[in-house]
Amino acid sequence: MPVLAAAGKHRRKVRFPLTNQASTTGKPNCRSSSRNPQATDSTTKPRDHHLLKQTTTTMGEPQAHPGVPALFTEPPAIQDTLITETTELQNDTINKCVPFLKGIHSSQKGPWNQYGVPALTRDEHIGYLYDSLEEYPAAFVSIDASRPWMSYWALAGLSLLGQGVRSFRSRVISTFGAMQNPTGGFGGGHGQISHCASSYAAVLSLAMVGGEEVFQLVDRKAMWQWLGRLKQPDGGFRLFEGGEEDVRGAYCSMVIISLLDLPLTLPPEAEARKYGLDSFTSGLSEYLARCTQGPRLFPPLYTADDKGMQVKHSKVVYPVVPGRKPTVPTLSGKLGGLRDKPGKHVDSYHTCYTLTGLSSAQYSHYYTDTSVSSGEEFASAFSWRCHPTTTEEEGVNVFSEGDRLAAFHPIYVIPHKAAESMRLWFENEPLGF
């Protein structure tokens, strides 16, 4: 039986571009001058003409849609005068975004609310995410190792949009059962070695579809032993056996351990025991204090010019700003899905995390003294609650109530109920080892 979108329409056949070649029209040639010894060194010398022009209203220029704040109708007031290839590309992107933010781009059909924000094209995004769980053209074989992530992004996006995902249980079991290795953990595809990131995405996908049969799929003992082999003498975790060690390994490992209620004690054969470590948390806080990659996991930098949260300089991940003004209209594709920026193809990665960013702006999360978990070690992780933001609380919510998304857990980035249900099920399931 075909899956129906919220509008009752049959799901479209998957339509993905076979190439991802960006247009070079109007793109500055930043490297050609560096090859000419007579050319000016544009990477170090400021030039006034590099600055973005502030928009001015003229008789023939389209007006910004009523309700759009002035902040979003023109380029940023503060601009870097130093020219580099990055700043040129950054300014080109800003110029492409401004018409969308003003609500005057030809692709924007409305309707708009009183704050100048177009309605969220919910049905189109739902249709796109259903499509993303179907077959892909042969050219996509290069991302075969990302199958757990593609499952997670689609299931998370559908959950945010209010779609139930329990109907995918049998497909999830079939997919991830083949990716689980007898030595512990999940690979990125069939026959591939286990990887922390793949295992993280797999466990979160299992949590979202839920159910005893799904949870029983996980070999907890093998997972515990495998994570023990990833634990390092300095307190951190490798992403896979013999692989790199960084903050991603620590985060993904602790998420898996907490959701599956695995023992915090290291397995007896863990190599880290030879260096005085006895648990998965031994040396972890010291290791994280030395890491320089924290912003890649928890983007803390707000950028007023890009109007979003940065994962690194000039890279916006959660496109939401104070005042709850979303840049989702800038990123929406014509047939659903969301993209990195104008000119790029939509994909499930940006669809998932853009919607996650919008959701985070629609709810206030707060910590409580009560936890659904009976275990002391991770009780705090399950003590988070939330409530929808309101105009009275935040001053102004610029989105319509019809565009409100589901709330996601701030640590696990899945629905609160999904995280809690998985944890409680495994708490009540004997380890057997």
CA distance 337 to 351: 6
Angle between helices 169-179 and 196-209 (to 10 degrees): 160
48 contacts 81 by C-beta, under 8 angstroms? yes
pLDDT > 90: percent of the chain: 51
Topology (CATH level 3) of domain 134-295: Glycosyltransferase (1.50.10)
199 contact partners, CB below 8 Å, separation of at least 6: 148, 185, 186, 223, 252, 256
Domain ranges of the chain: 134-295, 297-427
CA distances from 230 to 224, 236, 272 (A): 10, 8, 9
CA distance 172 to 91: 42
Give the model's pLDDT for residue 111: 73
Least confident of 47-61, 109-123, 206-220: 47-61
Average pLDDT of 94-116? 73
Average pLDDT of 208-213? 97
Give the model's pLDDT for residue 293: 57
The answer, yes or no, to whether residue 50 has pLDDT greater than 80, is: no
First-to-final CA distance of the chain: 42
Q: What is the pLDDT of residues 241-254, one digit of tens each?
A: 999 999 999 999 99
Give the confidence band of 23 by pLDDT, cuts at 50, 70, 90. very low
The answer, yes or no, to whether residue 36 has pLDDT greater than 70, is: no
**Helix or strand holding residue 312 (H, E):** strand 308-312
Give the confidence band of 172 by pLDDT, cuts at 50, 70, 90. very high
Give the model's pLDDT for residue 327: 61
- Cα 408 → chain centroid: 12
Q: What is the pLDDT of residues 117-154, one digit of tens each?
A: 777 889 999 999 999 999 988 998 999 999 999 999 99
Q: What is the DSSP string of 9-51?
A: PBPPPP---S--PPP-TT----STGGG-TTS--TTTS--GGGS
The answer, yes or no, to whether residue 12 has pLDDT greater than 70, is: no
Give the model's pLDDT for residue 392: 61
E strands in 327-383: 338-339, 346-347, 363-367
CA distance 172 to 14: 19
Average pLDDT of 325-337? 72
Give the model's pLDDT for residue 432: 81
Give the confidence band of 37 by pLDDT, cuts at 50, 70, 90. very low
Regarding pTM above 0.85, the answer is no
The answer, yes or no, to whether residue 170 has pLDDT greater than 90, is: yes
151 contacts 133 by C-beta, under 8 angstroms? yes
Average pLDDT of 283-296? 77
Name which of 334, 391, 329 is nearest 354 in CA terms: 329
The answer, yes or no, to whether residue 61 has pLDDT greater than 70, is: no
Name which of 125, 124, 123, 144 is nearest 135 in CA terms: 144
Of the ranges 41-50, 157-166, 374-383, the best mean pLDDT one = 157-166
CA distance 411 to 258: 11
Average pLDDT of 107-116? 71
The answer, yes or no, to whether residue 51 has pLDDT greater than 80, is: no
CA distance 355 to 403: 11
- Cα 362 → chain centroid: 16
- Residue 177 burial (10 A CB sphere; 0-12, 13-18, 19+): exposed
Angle at 264 between CA 260 and CA 269, to 5 degrees: 105
Q: How many CB atoms lie within 10 A of CB 179?
A: 22
Under the phi-then-psi rule, with left for phi > 0, alpha for psi from -120 to 50, and beta for the rest, what region is 210? Answer: left
The answer, yes or no, to whether residue 54 has pLDDT greater than 90, is: no
Give the confidence band of 1 by pLDDT, cuts at 50, 70, 90. very low
CA distance 327 to 316: 11
The answer, yes or no, to whether residue 309 has pLDDT greater than 90, is: no
Give the model's pLDDT for residue 73: 74
